Each structure stands twice: as structure tokens, then as C-alpha cells.
């Protein structure tokens, strides 16, 4: 196997100077160092894949704010969708000249900008302190208006969602940003259950309720865009979503099942994040994921990859507040083979044989966060078996209300059913001060798997 090596931002910049005349770049292309100069200083601490496709991925991610501002200036309708992670954007992208994005994504700004944006300080001043999860950065981003343009409408799911988000969104409304709320009930399957994507079940009454709620969302989008969201249009939107989901599914399968990892965990995490709102541009999201998939297939065919076959296959639960954690995992001898970043419902294909709003209701109720933790654990177990994961890491999101208990339930269920080692670690937005401890704990996990495999 030809061993690939990740690059620091300075190494990437040197490579870019040599590459730039030989590659055709998208409109958001350019060297990565400019993002560092613009304040995304965390880039200096992380290592990146050296391919031109990864360059596009990073540029696409790091230009989202600018692309949103340009879109707003062009008169594009911007829909700020919050918490549901994948459902409302499908409706929004069914309209023309409309972009949906998640202001929730501001939770990564303190990491990317290494706290220099002062978003936590703004939230602190509003009484939203560190007992809340890092998504509190969103309040600061709305207050200082430095990060994303103000959306034309805010749509937020509530009910069986995390309390941090619900409380923060409520404060946002209190700041004078009206929100169209819609209810997502806690998923239950005791009466007349109906199958959902992802092997879950929900009561028919709950599906009816969510459908009624999504009708109000549809009406709100229609009002703001002046377009009619017919079933035909929604079906087209679902078809588009399914296309990108199948590309991502292919990429995940390719990476998780390969003998050597053809793509680092960090780049794969970012690809997965694209699925919820296409990083504000559907076509480019498809292109970038498709290109990375091709690159991975070529690498496998030419026996190129990262790490040896002794890299321990780790299933990772929850997104990391600090991107660097993904590098640490790999430097400690692990590789990602399976993940649940809180939106597995956005990975599954949406049914196309039922009316579109019924299909979207099913998808919304399949959210792992709205159901019992035991059901989330069962999906994790099924995926761990599928990808041959050898250990489980649950990254706790600091302050997140759901993390205080769910990790214990998931870890215990996995340990009981698969008899595999598990580790729960908290990853703060900047994990430098805790890095030695995080590294030691992951190394110990990796060591225990390797020791076990000797016997």
C-alpha cells in the first residue's frame, strides 16, 4: 500500500502554488491560507487530505458565509432552518431561487476562529453561559451580524429536541427574530405503529401531527418565496435529496469498508455535514461528494490509503465541537468505520412511493434525537456489525442536555450486545488543553482492541 500523508495548511499552500495552474477550480476556489488570514485560525492546528477534491471541499465549507451574503445580495430567499437537521431544507430547495441554511452551524465558529469572534462572550452576557452547549454561539452570531446574513424567515422544530437548542432559540425570538415553530413529538410506537426509514416505527397519529406541522412550514415557505410548493415540486426536492444521499452512502460504504482508509475522518465528517442543507448549494455539494467518491475509488484501486491495516476501526457517535479531535483519533491509531453525527435520518433514502409530505413526516420522525435512546443504540449496533467496527467512541458535547445520559445508555448497550470496548470523551470547542488526556484515552482504547485481537 502506498501510504498517504495529510498536510498542514502551510504544506497545502506550498502544494497549491504548484497545483493551481494544473487544476480547474470552482468559483469559490483558491488557496486555503486566505481563510486563515480571514480569521479561521484553527486551520493551522489541523491536518488535511492532499487531494484537489479535498481542496474544493474545504473551500466550499469555508466560503459558505460569503456565498450566503452574495446570494442575499442577488435577491435569493434565505431560509434559516433550525434543529430538524435535514427535513425543512428539502422543502426549501424545492423552490426556485431559495437557499436554506442552519444558523445552528455557528456552533463551529468558536472552534474554526479559535474563540476570536467573541460569540461566547455575547451569549454569556445574555445569561447563556457554558452550562449550555456550544450552539449558544448562534446567539452571538445573530447579535453581531458578522457571520451570516439575516435569513428572510426562521423555522425551528421543537418538542422532543435538545433543551439547549430550544432555550437558545427562544432567546433568539426574544431578541426580536420571529420564529415559525413546528412540533416534533417524542417518537413512540405503542399504538398502530408505521415503519419509518432507518428501521424505526412511529404511531400513525404522530405522523399525522407532523404532517400537519409540515403543512404550516410549507405555507410559511410559500408565503416568503411567493411560490407554490406543489406535490410535484416537493417530489422533485425529495428526488434531489435522495440523489445526494445515495452519493454520500456510496462514499461512506467505500471508506468504511476499505482495507486502508482512503479518506481521513475529518473530510468524511464534513461531507456528512453537507447532507443536511447541502452547505447552501445543492449542485456543488453533489459535485464535491461525487468527486471525493471517485478519488477514494481510485485510491483503493491503486492501493493508496492512510494508516496500516492495524488501524483500529472506530464507530464515532456525535459531532465534535473541535474538528481537531478527528485528527487526534487517527494519530492515536484509530480510523472511522461508522458514525452517528446526530442526523442518521438524513442519511436514509426518503420514500418516494407515498405523498411527499407523508414521506417528509416519516423522515422527521426517524430523527435519532426524537426517539428513545435504546433505538439509537440499536441502529449504532447494526451499523457497527455492518462495518466491522472494533470500538465505540461517544464524544460528549459540553453542556448538551441529551449528552448527560444518552452516552451511558449507548455505551452500556453496545458493550452488552457486542462485547466491544467503549469510550466517552468530552470534546470542547478548543480541545488543546485537554488534548493529552483525550489522546491518552483514545490510545488506551486502541491498545485494548489490539491486545484483545492477539488472543
Partner 1 sequence: MNAAVGYCSQHIPPEWIAAHGLRPVRIVPSMVENTPIEESEGLCDFMRGFFNSIETNEVDAVLSTTVCDQMRRGFDLFSSERTKPVHLFNQPALWKRSSHLKLFRYELQKLTPFFKKLGGIPPTNEMLKESMLYYEKKRIDELHRRNKRVSPEKHSIGIGLIGGPITKNEQKLLNKIMAKGTHILFDSTEYSCENAPIRYDRRALLESAFDHMTQQWFETNHAIYQRPNTKFYRWLQKKIRETNPRALILNRWIWCDFWSGETERIRTFSPVPVLILDSNHNEATERNRTRILAFLESLQQEVSPF
| Contacts to partner 1 by CB under 8 A | 126-129, 131-132, 156, 158-160, 162-164, 166-171, 173-174, 179, 181-183, 185-186, 188, 190-191, 205, 209, 212-213, 216, 372-374, 399-406, 408-409
Q: Which is nearer to partner 1, 233 or 408 (CB)?
A: 408
- Are residues 250 and 293 in contact, defined by beta-carbon separation less than 8 angstroms? yes
CA distances from 219 to 72, 213, 226 (A): 21, 10, 10
Q: Which is nearer to partner 1, 186 or 239 (CB)?
A: 186
CA distances from 156 to 21, 183, 232, 416 (A): 44, 9, 25, 37
- 148's torsion region: left (phi>0), alpha (psi -120 to 50) or beta? beta
| Nearest distance, CB of residue 440 and partner 1, angstroms | 20
| Nearest distance, CB of residue 418 and partner 1, angstroms | 17
Question: What does the block give as the cell for 134?
Answer: 456550544
- Are residues 280 and 101 in contact, defined by beta-carbon separation less than 8 angstroms? yes
Q: Which is nearer to partner 1, 23 or 405 (CB)?
A: 405
| Nearest distance, CB of residue 162 and partner 1, angstroms | 6
| Nearest distance, CB of residue 182 and partner 1, angstroms | 8
Q: Which is nearer to partner 1, 202 or 269 (CB)?
A: 202
Q: Where are the alpha helices (DSSP H) in 317-355?
A: 324-331
Question: How far is residue 121's CA from residue 437's CA, in Å, rounded to a whole number?
Answer: 27
Q: Which is nearer to partner 1, 212 or 452 (CB)?
A: 212
| Nearest distance, CB of residue 185 and partner 1, angstroms | 5
Q: Is the dihedral of CA 227, 228, 230, 234 positive or negative?
A: positive
User: What is the full DSSP assignment across 223-255?
Assistant: HHH-----HHHHHHHHHHHHHHHHHHHHHHHHH
| Nearest distance, CB of residue 95 and partner 1, angstroms | 23
Q: Which is nearer to partner 1, 71 or 209 (CB)?
A: 209
Amino acid at each position: 500500500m502506498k501510504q498517504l500523508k495529510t498536510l498542514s495548511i502551510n504544506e497545502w499552500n506550498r502544494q497549491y502554488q504548484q497545483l493551481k495552474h494544473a487544476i480547474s477550480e470552482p468559483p469559490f476556489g483558491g488557496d486555503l491560507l486566505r481563510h486563515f488570514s480571514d480569521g479561521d485560525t484553527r486551520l493551522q492546528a489541523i491536518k488535511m487530505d492532499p487531494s484537489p477534491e479535498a481542496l474544493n471541499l474545504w473551500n466550499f465549507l469555508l466560503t459558505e458565509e460569503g456565498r450566503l451574503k452574495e446570494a442575499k445580495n442577488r435577491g435569493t430567499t434565505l431560509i434559516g432552518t433550525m434543529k430538524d437537521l435535514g427535513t425543512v431544507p428539502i422543502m426549501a430547495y424545492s423552490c426556485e431561487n431559495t437557499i436554506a441554511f442552519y444558523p445552528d452551524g455557528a456552533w463551529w465558529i468558536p472552534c474554526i476562529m479559535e474563540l476570536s469572534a467573541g460569540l461566547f462572550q455575547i451569549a454569556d452576557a445574555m445569561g447563556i453561559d457554558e452550562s449550555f452547549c456550544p450552539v449558544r454561539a448562534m446567539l452571538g452570531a445573530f447579535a453581531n451580524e458578522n457571520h451570516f446574513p439575516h435569513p428572510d424567515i426562521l423555522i425551528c422544530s421543537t418538542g422532543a429536541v435538545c433543551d439547549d437548542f430550544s432555550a437558545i432559540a427562544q432567546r433568539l425570538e426574544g431578541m426580536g427574530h420571529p420564529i415559525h415553530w413546528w412540533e416534533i413529538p417524542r417518537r413512540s410506537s405503542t399504538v398502530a405503529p408505521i415503519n419509518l426509514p432507518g428501521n424505526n416505527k412511529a404511531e400513525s397519529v404522530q405522523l399525522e401531527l407532523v404532517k400537519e406541522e409540515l403543512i404550516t412550514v410549507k405555507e410559511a415557505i410559500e408565503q416568503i418565496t411567493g411560490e407554490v410548493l406543489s406535490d410535484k415540486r416537493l417530489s422533485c426536492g425529495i428526488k434531489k435529496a435522495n440523489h445526494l444521499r445515495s452519493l454520500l452512502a456510496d462514499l461512506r460504504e467505500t471508506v468504511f469498508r476499505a482495507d486502508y482508509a482512503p479518506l481521513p475522518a475529518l473530510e468524511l465528517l464534513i461531507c456528512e455535514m453537507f447532507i443536511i442543507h447541502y452547505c447552501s448549494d445543492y449542485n456543488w455539494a453533489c459535485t464535491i461528494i461525487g468527486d471525493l467518491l471517485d478519488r477514494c475509488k481510485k485510491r483503493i484501486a491503486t492501493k493508496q490509503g492512510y494508516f496500516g491495516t492495524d488501524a483500529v476501526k472506530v464507530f464515532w457517535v456525535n459531532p465534535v465541537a473541535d474538528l481537531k479531535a478527528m485528527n487526534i483519533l487517527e494519530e492515536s491509531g484509530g480510523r472511522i468505520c461508522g458514525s452517528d453525527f446526530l442526523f442518521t435520518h438524513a442519511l436514509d433514502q426518503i420514500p418516494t412511493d407515498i405523498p411527499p409530505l407523508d414521506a417528509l413526516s416519516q423522515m422527521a420522525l426517524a430523527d435519532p434525537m426524537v426517539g428513545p435512546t435504546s433505538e439509537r443504540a440499536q441502529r449504532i449496533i447494526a451499523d457497527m456489525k455492518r462495518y466491522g467496527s472494533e470500538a465505540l467512541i461517544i464524544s460528549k458535547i459540553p453542556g448538551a442536555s441529551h449528552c448527560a445520559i444518552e452516552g451511558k445508555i449507548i455505551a452500556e448497550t453496545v458493550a452488552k450486545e457486542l462485547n466491544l470496548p467503549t469510550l466517552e470523551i468530552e470534546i470542547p470547542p478548543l480541545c488543546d488543553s485537554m488534548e493529552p488526556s483525550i489522546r491518552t484515552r483514545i490510545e488506551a482504547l486502541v491498545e485494548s482492541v489490539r491486545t484483545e485481537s492477539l488472543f
